[in-house]
Amino acid sequence: MKEKTLSIIKPDAVAKGAIGQIIDCFTENGLKIAALKMIHMSQREAEGFYAVHKERPFFGSLTEFMISGPAVVMVLCGENAIKKNRELMGATNPAEAAEGTLRKRFATDIEKNAVHGSDAPETARTEISYFFPELEIVNA
Ligand code: IDP
Ligand code: MG
């Protein structure tokens, strides 16, 4: 099934100069880019994006990290894009991420873990519309 998912190259990976390698990984694995922009999130935007985690002990530190520098937000599109993106990303904790995954290659730690990917169709819809109006998404 053709799907869309939201991907974020987080500030740590942008700072490491890994934008190109991460995008290559997506496109070499059959995902297409339907929207892409570089943003520097405000505190409010980061807190809104991660609102589901607001009761977690790491919420303050996570949102601080997400506003620490620019990030790249993208809509990826393709067959089973949500699951495929999560597989390419690897486990949340890079210490547990499989060899060759983006988090294994580029993450610093469980918080500064290089990339975000939506985890289900409903969250993909909400997260995409959080950053992109319909008009900014092409038919990839
Ligand atoms: P996911 O990004 O793999 O879906 P989630 O559990 O949804 O993982 O957590 C969202 C983000 O919160 C993670 O990507 C990571 O940046 C951060 N995070 C998750 N667990 C921890 C933790 O135990 N300590 C610090 N940060 C965490
Ligand atoms: Mg998640």
Q: What is the pLDDT of residues 49-99, one digit of tens each?
A: 999 999 999 999 999 999 999 999 999 999 999 999 999 999 999 999 999
What spatial distance separates the first Cα and last Cα of the chain, rounded to whole Å? 14
92 Cβ inside 6 Å of ligand 1: yes
Q: Quote the pTM value.
A: 0.98
Helix (H) or strand (E) holding 47: helix 43-49
Considering only CA atoms, which residue is closest to atom 3 of ligand 1? 92
111 Cβ inside 6 Å of ligand 1: yes
Q: β-strands 32-39, 71-79: how paired?
A: antiparallel
- Residue 95: is it exposed, middle or buried by C-beta count within 10 angstroms (0-12/13-18/19+)? exposed
Ligand of minimum distance to the alpha carbon of 108:
1
Ion ligand 2: residues, Cβ under 5 Å: 119
